[in-house]
Amino acid sequence: MAILITGGAGFIGNNLAASLLKRGESVVILDNFDDYYDVAIKRANIAALGDATAVVEGDIRNSALVDRIFQEHKITRVAHLAGLAGVRYSVENGPLYADVNTHGSVVMMDAARRYNVENFIQASTSSVYGQTDRVPFVEEDAPDQPLAPYPASKRSAELYGYSYNNLFGLNFTALRFFNVYGPNGRPDMMPLKVIEALVHDKPITLYDGELRRDWTYIDDLVNGVVAALERPNGYQIINMGYGSPVSLNDFIHTYETLIGKTAIRQSVPTPASEPRILYCNNSRARERLGFDPKVPLEEGLKRTWMWYKSCHNL
């Protein structure tokens, strides 16, 4: 009896694995250690988990391998977090995103239903909501105008989840994550890019500074994912975000104050892949999962900065 975490070498998956291990769960990780960002970070993430975790290096699209994992480890629950996570990178790589994020997710769902798993959690994204002024975002809205291959591939996986629940009774929860950040976060995301730019006095490439994002601290998010794993509930979609969007200008200003430097801003036009706002209504997560995010942005950025300082002896 074990929980399978796909993408467990990555940022969210690794934090989830650490949390589940602490609770005494058996954890199996499937990750292909792709080189979207520095693979050394993923190797270090896995090393930090210690020996208690079974780690399989392989691809979610390899259905024979996936079957073997379900059989050998008696998987009862799945947190499917593996995937290609960048919106910008998806713009020029549509076929790859369809293959990994949609096709790969369906391979996982199909194995899950054949091995009668109790619960399947799918990592989805706030960006499925596209360009909308209906804020905050609620799950009842039917998002059908994704702005880029990344949200299109994630929305497609949600739709397959519906089919698998309808046909096979697979308990399927899509969690729409909103801008997850924290110590050891993804190097391609704003929180670490801004720190790096400020520390090294390099320019920050900035879209419209009034774009607003809803930053969700990693520990809060992981608590939400753990709660979702524990509550199989048919087919459902649940927003998972802090619920308080902040402009990119204010975000950078918070770091400027923390680090004591002024950013060199280099404005570039906002690409068509970027929505004006991401804004989470998290009522459903609160009701169904007891989700209760506690870390406001200033505190979360402070913790991220402290982590960065200790890693770089600053």
Ligand X SMILES: NC(=O)c1ccc[n+]([C@@H]2O[C@H](COP(=O)([O-])OP(=O)(O)OC[C@H]3O[C@@H](n4cnc5c(N)ncnc54)[C@H](O)[C@@H]3O)[C@@H](O)[C@H]2O)c1
User: Measured between alpha carbons, how far is 120 from 62 in angstroms, rounded to an integer?
Assistant: 18
User: Measured between alpha carbons, how far is 90 from 105 in angstroms, rounded to an integer?
Assistant: 17
Coil, strand or helix: which one is 155? Answer: helix
Q: Which position among 5, 31, 73, 143 is part of the footprint of ligand X (CB under 6 A)? A: 31
How crowded is residue 177: how many other Cβ atoms within 10 Å of its Cβ?
23
Region 153-182 residues binding ligand X, contact defined as CB under 6 A: 177, 179-180
Q: Shortest Cβ distance from residue 68 to ligand X (Å)?
A: 14
Please, is 110 exposed, middle or buried when counting C-beta atoms within 10 Å of its C-beta (0-12, 13-18, 19+)?
middle
Give me the amino acid identity at 236: Q
- As a residue count, the chain comes to 314
| Cα angle value 55/60/66 (rounded, 5°) | 70
**Catalytic residue status for 150:** yes
Region 103-132 residues binding ligand X, contact defined as CB under 6 A: 104, 123, 125
Q: Which position among 12, 20, 192, 252 is part of the footprint of ligand X (CB under 6 A)? A: 12
Q: Shortest Cβ distance from residue 158 to ligand X (Å)?
A: 12
Residue number with the shortest CB distance to ligand X? 10
Of 80, 43, 87, which Cα lies nearest the Cα of 188? 87
57 or 201: whose CB is closer to ligand X?
57
Calculate the CA 244 to chain-centre distance. Answer: 18
Q: Shortest Cβ distance from residue 57 to ligand X (Å)?
A: 9
Region 211-250 residues binding ligand X, contact defined as CB under 6 A: none
147 or 261: whose CB is closer to ligand X?
147
User: Which one of 129, 150, 181, 308 is the catalytic residue?
Assistant: 150
Q: Is 59 in the site for ligand X (CB under 6 A)?
A: yes
Contacts to ligand X by CB under 6 A: 6-7, 9-13, 30-34, 36, 42, 59-61, 81-85, 100, 104, 123, 125, 177, 179-180, 186
Residues belonging to the active site:
150
